[in-house]
Each structure stands twice: as C-alpha cells, then as structure tokens.
C-alpha cells in the first residue's frame, strides 16, 4: 500500500515537472521567435460581424454563433436582426 502511494507520488511529480518544462519552453518561444508562431496566432483571430474588424478570439464577444468586437456591436447587430 505504501509502495504504491510512493509510486503514484513519483508519477505526479514527473508529470508536473514535464509540464512545467513544456510551459517554460513555450514562453521562451514567444519571446525569442514571434514570427515562427505567427500561424498559430492567426488562427486565434476572429472577425466582428458588425464592423469587420479582426481581434483575438479571447477578446471577442460571442452571441448566436457570431463574434463581435464589443457588446455594443453585438447589441447593434441583434437589434437589426430582430427587425
């Protein structure tokens, strides 16, 4: 029983260590070679349905399967669609 707990703890530490190393490498890549990571960044860009501006997905406002640059543009689009 104690041996299996020790083994489990060892596995958790190894997984944690590997993920930490992976994250550190990712952050290094972001700082040193921004152009290499460009394709990944472009995939994260979305287009505002209202005004057509491109913005990062995590900044976008989502509604009814559409993306918007702000809640103001979401409301404007929804009001126009309802008419």
**Least distance (Å) between residue 9 CB and Zn ion:** 51
- Considering beta carbons, is residue 29 or 56 the nearer one to Zn ion? 56
Q: How far is CA 36 from CA 19, 21, 31, 39, 45, in A?
A: 22, 20, 11, 8, 17
**Least distance (Å) between residue 53 CB and Zn ion:** 5
- Considering beta carbons, is residue 33 or 71 the nearer one to Zn ion? 71
In the block, tokens 């070679």 appear at 33
Q: Three-state SS across 55-81?
A: EEHHHCEEECCEEECCHHHHHHHHHHH
- Considering beta carbons, is residue 13 or 51 the nearer one to Zn ion? 51
**Least distance (Å) between residue 69 CB and Zn ion:** 4
Q: Site residues (CB under 5 A) for Zn ion?
A: 48, 50-51, 69, 73
């Amino acid at each position: 029983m104690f041996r299996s707990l020790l083994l489990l703890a060892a596995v958790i530490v190894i997984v944690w260590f590997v993920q930490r190393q992976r994250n550190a490498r990712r952050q290094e890549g972001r700082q040193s070679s921004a152009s290499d990571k460009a394709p990944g960044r472009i995939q994260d860009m979305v287009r505002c349905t209202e005004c057509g501006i491109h913005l990062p997905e995590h900044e976008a406002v989502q509604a009814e399967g559409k993306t918007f640059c702000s809640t103001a543009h979401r409301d404007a689009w929804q009001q126009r669609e309802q008419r």
